[in-house]
Amino acid sequence: MSSSNREILRKHQIMHPLRVPHGVLDTKRKMAARPFSGLWKVSDPALLQMTLVAGLLASVFGDCGPPPNLQFASPNKLNNKDFKTGTTLKYTCLPGYSRISSSSVTCNDRGSWDYHVFLC
């Protein structure tokens, strides 16, 4: 490269300094990357999608939905619709039936209810 071409290139770089995506020039005019600053805006659709996916994953893995519907028994005090891992619910036999086996169900870490067959 000739010296005149180098001079033109140098002048062009002074007028239009090099930039990195999401980066700035430091005080010595060298590039310094800031990979996460300004990466997301509150209205960014990708941020919204990531937030929704994170929320859905949290609700799918480890938590249980409604407890099982049993023919001869009903759960005591059902105040929630979602139940955390380890939650135990007690069931009561319906009128006319008496309990013969365990009366509880437990939300396991796979997001389903563990229980033995209820016999009322």
Q: Show me where the domains of the chain are located.
A: 1-39, 73-114
**Model-level pTM greater than 0.85?**
no
Decide which of 43 and 58 is more confident: 43
Nearest CA among 92, 64, 87, 65 for reference residue 76: 92
The pLDDT of residue 91: 87
pLDDT digit string (tens) for 51-91? 555 555 544 455 888 888 888 888 887 777 778 889 888 88
Residue 22 CA to residue 19 CA, distance in Å, equals 8
